Structure 1
Amino acid sequence: MVFAPGEKPGSESEEAKLQIASKQIVQNAILRAVQQVSRESRQREAGAGDTPRGSFRPGAGELTKKHEKK
């Protein structure tokens, strides 16, 4: 096995350390995003129960310019 100058046998290379750190950062970011989406979803569901069915919501059911019939 060949080691770079200053690198000791059994120690991880700088590149390997960076890859591990990058993976951890990405995993943490994904976990936080999933938790945030889950929390927002629960809040929306809880808020939807407060609105009586058939109540007026401005803009609900309106066609946007993107979806308007030509």
Structure 2
Amino acid sequence: MSNESSPLQSSLLVSERMAFKLHRQGMIMETIGKNNAVCNEYPSPILPKERWRYQMVNMYPDSGQCHPFGRR
């Protein structure tokens, strides 16, 4: 994290690492059912990037921008 250029990038990197860690430990549950009728919870060790995004709160109003997972 020492090579990051801003506090925003550093906090985003820490958030992404924590999400990855929680997925690998099986602490984040997947809730999509196999037949799309019944949803069951099961551990999700693989991190689906399309389900994660970060949006700043209580800073400056910017409703048109969010930060997708894995992109800075």
Compute the TM-score of the two structures, normalised by the length of structure 2: 0.32
Greater RCO, 1 or 2 (C-alpha within 8 Å, sep 6+): 2
Higher strand share: 2
**Higher Cα Rg: structure 1 or 2?**
1
TM-score, normalized by length of structure 1? 0.32
